[in-house]
Structure 1
Amino acid sequence: MSTETGTYRLTQYAHGGGCACKIPPGELESVLAGLLGGPVDDDLLVGLETGDDAAVVRLSADLAVVATADFFTPVVDDPYDWGRIAVANALSDVYAMGGRPLVGVNLLAWPRDVLPFELAKEVLRGGLDVAREAHCHVGGGHSIDDAEPKYGMAVTGVVDPDRLLRNDAGVAGDPLSLSKRLGLGVLNNRHKQTGEVFPDAIAAMTALNQVASQAALAAGARCATDITGFGLLGHVAKLARASGVTAVIDAPAVPYLDGARESATAGYVSGGTRRNLAWVRPRTDFGSLPEVEQLLLADAQTSGGLLVAAELPGCPVIGELVERAAYDVVVRG
């Protein structure tokens, strides 16, 4: 990004990038375990228990509010694109619950003595443009001076309680459809290390999951999750465990962005992806699947697609839910 004050590569100002910066799932679960239990109001339809994508509170018989927040360090060097990606990712949590976003507030951390504020303006402009595309209001937000740049949104939406998508509602026999190709993590890591730009990855990350959410509701789906920092395997393992089933993934059916497998083979694998694989390995039967394929299935996605327990038009079916077995996930190669 060239500006009047010089040329900046935003990904070089953070220790990681995008959803690969998430706290590892195992560590997060151990912390949250101490917060569970005790009385729960019946109107809290979705809380901490299953690690779902957003909180849901019933307001009336036919209306519930969806609340979420999501932010991360730069995943690409272009500030406008980073803003677009960050907000598409935050909105995805609402879509993953079957909801409609209403209003978002910006969350911005900026090293004001290191990076010019005109770059922050571009980040905010990108976020605003994606929110407008989603017909979601933006009403201010909060900013802090921080050592690393970070951006995202807290988003509030609405959903019909009777048409809620959740990660604990999967049933044996449900097919599993995926709405976006994988490989965003390795391509983003390659971008961070080399400066190469991957337009297809940017297009995927800035694409809203609105259409997939609406298709899921039209198909009568009850179970879904979005695929972000814990990778396909991490999120499907959480879904399977929460639903009391086992997920079977057909590895050859999983679609990848161009260059993803090449990048993984070349070693452009983030630390977040390796932590994901370490976490899912004890609860996954990989058979004889090569490690590079395991890493791709665990690849930490940023603003990835929806995984829906139903057949969706135009989306590949990559597996199915079956009766509970010894593992959360079984991968067929």
Structure 2
Amino acid sequence: MNAPDTQLPEPRLTSLSHGGGCGCKIAPAVLSEILKGTAAMPIPKELLVGIETADDAAVYKLNDDQALIATTDFFMPIVDDPHDFGRIAATNAISDVYAMGGRPIMALALVAMPVNVLSTQTIGRILEGGASVCRAAGIPIAGGHTIDSVEAIYGLVALGLVHPEHVKRNADAQPGDLLVLGKPVGVGVMSAALKKGELGDAGYAQMIATTTQLNTPGPELAALPGVHALTDVTGFGLAGHALEMARGARCELRLDWSAVPLMAGVRALAAQGFVTGASGRNWAGYGTDIVLPAGFAAEDQALLTDPQTSGGLLVSCAPSALDEVLAVFRRHGFDDAAVIGGITATSNAPRVLVA
């Protein structure tokens, strides 16, 4: 690996990327256009979850007691600190295993770095950040792949195990269910402010604390009989992932916006214009299926579609299971977990109704 001249200052990590974190995702409408022409492939009966509902990970049944969860996630820097970038990217990748109700067992590292721009020390700090999260999750990084790249990209392939009866898809919500969100919203807005040098120390600390908190409640939640559907909120924003849940269940999903937990100070930042381009692309991709109340503020719409990097679990559960669901979140340190809406039957096309 050719290291850059150590006498020259290295650029900010975020300056090397045209987008950061899950805001790098291809817009929903563009992704649908790309995928619609792909040829249908034979689906083995052991494949319990594939691409049919845009779920968080693939799940393949191994035997009566075990199913393998496989997922991958990688992106460009959302922060400038290399260790923090690695931690966020790894936490985000492992989250999809938890979102299927599983426990991670190992990971593979995906590393693409501009080796003539970043020092080996900086790249090493990114990898160590990711490794520290894997240690916290109790799993090894068992291999991976590296390439020289124009932009810095890091992530993981994450593998996990789940009992086949505990697999939780994003498509199995039921009318009458309540919705619980595990983490506050606002990571994309925070990252936009950071990139422009307008995020204070307290805001940065809050952003790091949120994005590096592993979604460990997933397996316990999946084992509860009253939990019907589970996903995590990432690049398509709260509205986008809620809409995926509504479409999968062929129901209407109601969001009580006043109950949605927000990161401290994020609404004021959004009102000042610190929003990501991905937020607008998200709205353009699915906004026709989101019903907003009259006078809904522009900053609230931006937060509704704000891309979340390593966002919270979104749980659809029977009212009788609510106390247990909240207790699981609290036990794992998710004090912001809150009921934010519910699921209702509809004879119309699935949609998200914001109140």
Q: TM-score range by the shorter chain?
A: over 0.9
Say whether the 8 Å CA contact 1:187–1:259 is kept in structure 2.
Answer: no
Measure the CA separation in 2 of the matches of 1:219 and 1:43: 23
Matched ranges for 1:1-333 at <5 A: 6-35=9-38, 37-194=40-197, 196=199, 197=201, 198-218=204-224, 220-288=226-294, 289-310=296-317, 311=322, 312-313=325-326, 314=330, 315-324=337-346, 325-332=348-355
**Bigger mean CA offset, 323-332 vs 138-147:** 323-332
Distance 2:139 2:228 in 1: 24
SS at match of 1:158: strand
Distance in 2, matches of 1:195 and 1:69, equals 32
Cα deviation digits, residues 62-93 of structure 1 (max 9, x gap): 21000000000000010000100000000000
Deviations 1:303-332 (A, max 9, x none): 001001023214200000110244510000
> Partners in 1 of 2:9 and 2:41 — Cα distance?
54
Stretch moving more, 11-20 or 283-292: 283-292
CA shift for structure 1 position 212: 4.6
Q: CA deviation at 1:214?
A: 2.1
CA shift at 1:36, angstroms?
5.8
* Secondary structure of 1:170's aligned partner: coil
Q: Deviations over 1:286-316 (max 9, x none)?
A: 1212222111111001000100102321420
Distance in 1 between the 2:256 and 2:130 partners? 35
In the alignment, residue 318 of structure 1 is paired with which amino acid? I
Change (3 A) 1:117 1:330: same
Bigger shift: residues 3-12 or 80-89: 3-12
| Gap runs ≥5 in structure 1 | none
Cα distance between partner residues in 2 of 1:54 and 1:34: 21
1-structure distance, mates of 2:292, 2:198: 33
What code does the residue aligned with 2:311 have? G
Q: What is the SS of the residue equivalent to 2:127?
A: helix
Deviation digits for residues 161-205 of structure 1, max 9, x if unmatched? 101110111111110000000001000111011163410111000
Deviation at 1:117, TM superposition (A): 1.6
Aligned CA distance change for structure 1 residues 107 and 267 (closer, same or farther; 3 Å): same
Correspondence for 2:3: none
For residues 327 and 63 of structure 1, do their structure 2 counterparts lie closer, same or farther at Cα, with a shift above 3 Å needed? closer
Question: 1:150 corresponds to which letter in structure 2?
Answer: I
The Cα shift of 1:115 comes to 1.2
CA–CA distance in 2 between the matches of 1:36 and 1:249?
A: 35
Return the letter of the residue paired with 1:331: V
* Amino acid in the other structure paired with 2:305: A
Deviations 1:88-140 (A, max 9, x none): 00000000000111110100110011111211100000100100100111112
Q: In the comparison of the two structures, how many residue pairs are matched?
A: 330
Shift of 1:230: 0.4
Structure 1 contact 102–156 (Cα < 8 Å) conserved: yes
Paired residue secondary structure (2:227):
coil
CA contact (8 A) 2:167 2:222 kept: no
Q: Is the 8 A contact 2:102 2:218 kept in 1?
A: no
Report percent identity of matched pairs.
Answer: 42
Superposition TM-score, scaled by structure 2 size: 0.90
1:219/1:188 Cα in 2 relative to 1: closer, same or farther (>3 Å)?
farther
* Alpha-carbon distance in 1 for matches of 2:16, 2:41: 42
Distance 1:121 1:269, change over 3 A: same
Distance 1:39 1:212, change over 3 A: closer
Match of 1:308, SS state, is strand
The farther-off stretch of 170-179 and 282-291 is: 282-291
User: C-alpha separation between the residues in 2 aligned to 1:120 and 1:286?
Assistant: 44
**CA distance in 2 between partners of 1:303 and 1:4 (Å):** 35
Deviates more, 1:27-36 or 1:11-20: 27-36
